[in-house]
Amino acid sequence: MKVHPVFNIALLHKKPVDEYDRDPVPLPPVVTADGEEEYTVERILDSKKVGRQVKYLVKWKGYGPEDNTWEPKAHLANAPEKLAKFHREHPEAAGP
């Protein structure tokens, strides 16, 4: 007898409704300003110097840690208070 990845659709059932409403929360919509995509910074996690440029590890609001990205300061113009808070909490970190 051979085993193969075929499943009879008669055995499938609809997902039951979760009485605690624990379905995953959808990602927040991207805010567009002047036709450009703009994401909200939740917090800045780290910084590093790359050549003569400083890059920041950014945690984006509504996204998981796998979506954290290294961004130059120019990309964080909408979050000056987050940058200031990061440098207050980490005075030894690479910065401007």
- All structural domains of the chain: 40-96 (2.40.50.40)
pLDDT of residue 57: 96
What CA–CA distance (Å, rounded) separates 42 from 62? 8
The whole-number pLDDT of residue 88 equals 92
* 8-state DSSP, 51: T
Residue pair 55/69 in contact by the 8 Å Cβ criterion: no
Write the CA distances from 30 to 14, 35, 69, 73, integer angstroms: 31, 11, 16, 20
The SS3 call for residue 84 is: helix
* Residue type at position 53: Q
Q: What is the pLDDT along the chain (96 residues), one digit of tens a residue?
A: 677 778 788 888 887 777 776 766 666 667 676 766 778 899 999 999 999 999 999 999 888 888 899 999 999 988 999 999 999 999 988 776
Q: Where are the alpha helices (DSSP H) in 1-96?
A: 80-89
* pTM of the predicted model as reported, rounded to 2 decimal places: 0.64
Amino acid code (one letter) for 60: W
